[in-house]
Structure 1
Amino acid sequence: MAKFKVLIDPGHGGKDPGAVDNGLLEKDIALKVSLGIKARLEAAYEDVQVLLSRSTDVFLELKERTNKANAAGADILVSIHCNAGGGKGGFETFRYTSASQSSIKLQDTLHKAIMSKLGGIDRGQKAKNLHMVRESKMPAVLTENLFVDVAADADRLKQASVIDAIIDGHVLGIASYLGLAKTKEDKPVTQERDINVPSSWAKETWEALTKKGFFDGTRPGAPITREEMAIVVNRVLKYVD
């Protein structure tokens, strides 16, 4: 059983597209980012389970989202959004107006991690009376990942590398806040070779040099010591003479 539960909430969905402009739908970007966060966080770190308020293009009331997080006993909640109506665009985060110290710490850690990956205009860490951060019983933050109605931001949101940066920033921030340990890297499985059988690519040469007396024909796949090398060199020199 995972030590930590993280609830990722892809904003909007279904009949509610969220912000729409420049050929982008906020609900689609939010879902893509959220699915990416779940996949990468669970793959890269130990003791964490990522729950999603929605994993497909469906509509959920705000209350359904926070109810799901509260019922699951999630340790943190992060609601994923894109913005609109923001002039020059950029990235910003929100916590509740009367946020706990834990929520403030989560916001600070998450905000800085995402900005380190995303770059661009930093609109700051803000507080607002939003349902997702007010009704959740755990530290909660809402991220606004660029503006769909600002041409420069919209162009960025259409780039896979920028979506990756947003995902990686969230993963980094969540892992840092929770103090997650990296998953142990799997060592490549290698088949132990039979040292008594020459490799196919060296078989012909091995047999030829064995016939000439440079080697005794045993253990072709074994490492050679400096002493053994001296003997082989001596044999070669005698052969040349």
Structure 2
Amino acid sequence: MKLYLDPGHGGSDTGAQGIGLNEKNINLDIALRIRSILTSQYEDVTVRMSRTDDSTKSLTERTNEANDWGADYYLSIHCNSFDGSAQGYEDYIHSSLSDSSTTADYRDTMHNEITKVNQLRNRGKKKANFHVLRETTMSALLTENGFIDNADDAELMTDPEWRQTVAQGHVNGLAKAFNLQEKEDAGTLYKVVAGSFQAKKNAENRMKDLQSHDIEAYIMSVSVSGKQWYRVQAGAFAKWKNAEKRLQQVKDAGVHDAYITREDS
């Protein structure tokens, strides 16, 4: 599968701005993580990116490059902005396409996998006449991964683990949509995080609650921005699908903000 991966904006075009963040930087970070996971974890995947650094590139240059290369799929990574009050995730296919089109089928799979893990409000599946959706000759999707000017969404964006999880959600969608095959030994662990607390007592209570539901759980001490946190971990797995099953068990036990992190050996 040939994926053209497009981190939106870049260089002189910062994209949306808010709460000390530039959209171009968030887009690039997530896209680089998507490429890393795909190329290290899956067979027969080639990724070409519109940019791999903070460089300026026109929309026409991006779509022409993807078309000339003969990409199988065009994936454009973005963040949103409004007035500080809106928040959440949404994605777009071109407005001319029907809900029964191949592009819509791919989008449905991508949307389901991304929203499973991104901890954002689900704003739904949408259509628009964006250049990268209109001028591409292959199926194309544009994802809007939160509102950069919303305090809650922006706080998530500053967390590299969240950006990794969002990247993994995109990869999960691609893997299902295009039937990608995992490499035999990828050397990766997927860890289910069931809460992080500054008070150890709160972490202990969460651990005991999970154990009462017959879910393996233990506490790890981590330092984030110079502050001590107690993280409740509910298992580590070599395969994403096993971590995903555990994540669902944890959510069924009432921990709705649990998520999966990826750690390479």
Q: Is the 8 A contact 2:5 2:47 kept in 1?
A: yes
Q: Unpaired runs of 5+ in structure 1?
A: 188-241
Written as runs of structure 1 = structure 2, the 5 A alignment for 1:140-151 is 140-151=140-151
Q: Which among 69, 88, 92 is matched to residue 90 of structure 1?
A: 88
Length-normalised TM-score, structure 1: 0.74
Task: Tell me the residue number matched to 1:99.
Answer: 97
The corresponding residue for 1:174 is 174
The residue aligned with 2:112 is 112
Determine if contact 2:40/2:186 at 8 Å carries over to the other structure: no
Q: Secondary structure at the match of 1:184?
A: coil
Report how many aligned residue pairs link the two structures. 184
Determine if the alignment matches structure 1 residue 130 to structure 2 residue 127: no
Structure 2 vs 1, CA of residues 126 and 179 (structure 1 numbering), >3 Å: closer, same or farther? same
Letter in 2 for 1:93: D
| Aligned 8 A contact 2:118 2:165 in 1 | yes
**2:91·2:143 contact (CA, 8 Å) conserved in 1?**
yes
Query: Which amino acid is the alignment partner of residue 98 of structure 1?
Result: S
Match of 1:29 among 15, 19, 26: 26
What are the equivalent positions in structure 2 for 1:164-203 lying under 5 Å apart? 164-185=164-185
Distance in 1, matches of 2:157 and 2:107, equals 22
**Paired letter, 1:150:** N
- Residues 1:141 and 1:84: Cα distance change in structure 2 (over 3 Å): same
Q: Distance in 2 between matches of 1:160 and 1:61?
A: 28
Deviation per CA, 1:201-226, whole angstroms, max 9, x where unpaired?
xxxxxxxxxxxxxxxxxxxxxxxxxx
The percent of aligned pairs where both chains have the same amino acid is 40
Q: 1:23 to 1:73 in 2, by over 3 A?
A: same
- Where 1:8 maps in the other structure, the secondary structure is strand
CA distance in 2: counterparts of 1:8 and 1:35, whole angstroms? 9
Cα 1:161–1:5 shift into 2, 3 Å: same
Cα RMSD for the two superposed structures = 1.3
The alignment's TM-score, normalised by the length of structure 2, stands at 0.67
Write the distance in 1 (CA, Å) between the matches of 2:119 and 2:64.
Answer: 33
Q: SS in structure 1 opposite 2:13?
A: coil
**Bigger share in helix:** 1
Query: Which residue is equivalent to 2:5?
Result: 8
Deviation at 1:120, TM superposition (A): 2.5
- Within 2, Cα distance between the matches of 1:89 and 1:133? 23
Distance change >3 Å, CA 166–CA 120, structure 1 → 2: same
Moved more, 93-102 or 154-163: 93-102
For residues 84 and 8 of structure 1, the distance between their equivalents in structure 2, rounded to whole angstroms, comes to 21
Structure 2 letter corresponding to 1:41 = L
1:99, distance to aligned residue in structure 2 (A)? 2.3
- Aligned position for 2:48: 51
More strand by share: 2
Deviation string 1:50-93 (CA, Å, 9 cap, x unpaired) is 11011111111100000111011000000000000063300000
Unaligned runs of 5+ in 2: 188-265
